[in-house]
Amino acid sequence: MKIIEWNCQGAFRKKNEQILSLKPDILIIPECENEEKLKFDKLTPKPNDFFWYGDSSNKGIGVFSYSDYKFEILNEFNPKYRYVIPLKVSNKQNSFILFAIWAMDNKEKKDARYIGQIWLAINYYSDFLINEKTILIGDFNSNQIWDYKDRVGNHMDVVRKLEEKQIFSLYHKKYSLEYGNEKDATFYMYRKKEKPYHIDYCFASNKILQKGFDLEIEKNDNWINFSDHKPMIIELSDNINQEEILNSLKKGIESKINIISVQTKEKFTDLIEWILKEAEEFDNNPQKKAIEKQKIIDNFEMLLEIDKMIILINKNIVNNSSKK
């Protein structure tokens, strides 16, 4: 299975010939226009399956299948982390979870921009990370060299969190390099060769790596004529044989509710029952309006924040009592 990731810097419909000549099975394209503008079979060869998400018809993230793999967005997708998108990828023999990533700026919450956004997302989706067949791939817009900046979680925080789940960077596994000492640039700022950076990554579960892999950053300098990024090419075994992945918003919420405090569960029994009931209804009818799903997620996140405050208050009470 060949997976290629390439931030095309927009207007993919005018550039697809170059990347498709590399014959990807799965193609992840940050800064990709939507299906209407791609004009399949006119300007863009039609894929066997396609997923796109974006705030603007001109730029989002596109995932193409030029093989028998199909895509299904997971019901637990939270638009708050709009470009860290969890997909179920499957064919008749295999299935795995793929996070398609395009780390973005966040003008409303600056400490959660770029890698901070990924940090928040992987914590929110932590249940999926324990799946032994998980891949995170895309434009992370980050490198360890910028870890001096204020973030809710920096580059190495993300790396360590993933490693705790037995998920590793393919590039660093292959070349045994320290983070921040990468030898291959994936990005040239302003398309200038004298401004190279390594900011695109593919992380994968150890079970996937053990079956064999390869990763290459395209060497041809001509890519700079099309984008400020170079393609990242990953070869993985087709023999993944993952058990069926249950796509359930309710299941994801239940797993998080199981770890909140007893006190919170007792005080908010009615709210928890409502959240789970609405989540089950969404699972049974995922075509329901996105605003209804967002209401479920917002109430659930509010419950988690309340639980954090209750735990903190109880901790402070215990600490104050011990000082007397």
136 strand-pairing partners: 99, 203
**What would the mean pLDDT of 17-28 be, rounded to a whole number?**
97
Mean of the per-residue pLDDT values of the chain: 92
Residue 121 lies in a domain: yes
Q: What is the pTM of this model?
A: 0.90
Q: Would you place residue 319 in the very low, low, confident or very high pLDDT band (cuts 50, 70, 90)?
A: confident
Residue 241 lies in a domain: no
Q: Within 13 Å of residue 282, how many CA atoms lie on the same side as its CB?
A: 26
Residue 242 lies in a domain: no
| Same domain (yes/no): 268, 232 | no
228: which DSSP letter?
A: S
Task: Specify the CATH number for the domain of residue 120.
Answer: 3.60.10.10
Instruction: Report the length, in residues, of the chain.
Output: 324
Helix axes 290-323, 249-257, angle to 10 degrees: 10
**What would the mean pLDDT of 230-249 be, rounded to a whole number?**
84
Q: Is the pLDDT higher at 287 or at 211?
A: 211
| Same domain (yes/no): 224, 277 | no
Q: 3-state secondary structure string, 230-254?
A: CCEEEEECCCCCCCCCCCCHHHHHH
pLDDT at position 107 is: 77
pLDDT at position 18 is: 94
Q: Would you place residue 238 in the very low, low, confident or very high pLDDT band (cuts 50, 70, 90)?
A: confident
| Same domain (yes/no): 82, 119 | yes
Domain that holds residue 31: 2-236
| Same domain (yes/no): 297, 173 | no
Final residue in a domain of this structure, among 181, 210, 236: 236
Assess whether pLDDT exceeds 80 at residue 246. Answer: no
Residue 200 lies in a domain: yes
**What would the mean pLDDT of 94-98 be, rounded to a whole number?**
93
pLDDT at position 318 is: 66
> Which among 2, 3, 1, 5 has a CA at the least distance from the CA of 230?
5
Residue 61 lies in a domain: yes
Residue 243 lies in a domain: no
**What would the mean pLDDT of 216-226 be, rounded to a whole number?**
94
| Same domain (yes/no): 163, 281 | no
**What would the mean pLDDT of 281-286 be, rounded to a whole number?**
86
Give tens-digit pLDDT for 224-236.
999 999 999 999 9
Q: Is the pLDDT higher at 157 or at 148?
A: 157
Flag the least confident range among 64-78, 111-125, 222-236, 244-258. 244-258
**What would the mean pLDDT of 185-195 be, rounded to a whole number?**
96
| Same domain (yes/no): 263, 223 | no
Flag the least confident range among 192-196, 261-265, 312-316. 312-316
The CA distance from 282 to 171, in Å, is 38
Give tens-digit pLDDT for 107-147.
777 777 899 999 999 999 988 888 889 999 999 999 999 99
> Which among 69, 72, 75, 104 has a CA at the least distance from the CA of 90?
69
**What would the mean pLDDT of 302-314 be, rounded to a whole number?**
90
| Same domain (yes/no): 212, 277 | no
Final residue in a domain of this structure, among 185, 213, 236: 236
| Same domain (yes/no): 145, 253 | no
- Total domains in the fold of the chain: 2
